[in-house]
Amino acid sequence: MASEIKANKISPATGTAFTIGDSGDTFTVPSGATLNVASGGTISNSGTASGLGGGKVLQIVQTVVSSITSTNSTSFVDLAGMTVDITPSATTSKVLVLPTLQGGGAAFIWKITRDTTDIGIGDAAGSRNRGAFGSRDIDTAEMKSTSICYLDSPSSTSAVTYKIQYKCRVSGGGYARLNHDNADTDDAAYTRGCSTITVIEIGA
């Protein structure tokens, strides 16, 4: 038989900790009811919060690359260090992929892959290269900062690898370089950069 307790305030008999129910119990806030936390109050969670609606940030993973590297390959190759692994907690989760690259060279093209699948690249159009970013000419002493924001749906609870691949535009087109320019002269007029790839799991 159901019972009901009505009170204006419930306080712990000793100390400051108050426990509701036992392990395995379920407590329901009825439709139309509101649970308020007073100004300065805190709700902390050491378990799993569920049913709170979409858009929750569940985890963030980042890789930072401050070293320099380059290629003169006209085929996409893995960009050393620009890789990050994440294991989504649910198949319904989205993964926000946020790469930022400091690139130099006469013809610098890069793209994102999820495992072996290209994501966030341009449409096919004749002989044109497909990527997230491509430069045709960059000054000898110049780097470009490039980034995109891509919301991916891996539909997996297994480990997923996001990485950057890069290449030169055409054969004989010079080098594609990360975190440094073509000249890379030991002079205060020239710069070494830092690139990152960040992935954020967003709960559905």
Q: Is 69 inside a domain boundary? A: yes
Q: Residue range 55-76: average pLDDT?
A: 94
pLDDT(68) > 70: yes
pLDDT(48) > 70: no
Q: Is 49 inside a domain boundary? A: no
Q: Is 192 inside a domain boundary? A: yes
Q: What is the CATH number of the domain that holds 133?
A: 2.60.120.760
Instruction: Count how many domains the chain has.
Output: 1
Q: Is 102 inside a domain boundary? A: yes
Q: Is 110 inside a domain boundary? A: yes
Mean pLDDT of the chain: 86
pLDDT in tens, 105-143: 877 889 999 999 999 999 999 988 899 988 776 666 788
What is residue 41's predicted lDDT score, i.e. its pLDDT?
62
Enclosing domain of residue 87: 56-203
For the residues of the chain, what is the DSSP string, one character each?
Answer: -------S----SSSS----S-TT------TT------TT-----SS---SS-S-EEEEEEEEEE-S-EEE--SS-EEEEEEEEEE--SSTT-EEEEEEEEEEEESSEEEEEEETTEEES-PPP-TT---SSEE-S---TT--EEEE--EEE----SS-EEEEEEEEESSTTS--EEESS-SS--SSTTS----EEEEEEEEE-
What is residue 193's predicted lDDT score, i.e. its pLDDT?
94
Q: Is 76 inside a domain boundary? A: yes
Q: Is 3 inside a domain boundary? A: no
Q: Residue range 57-75: average pLDDT?
A: 95
Q: Is 20 inside a domain boundary? A: no
Q: Residue range 157-184: average pLDDT?
A: 88
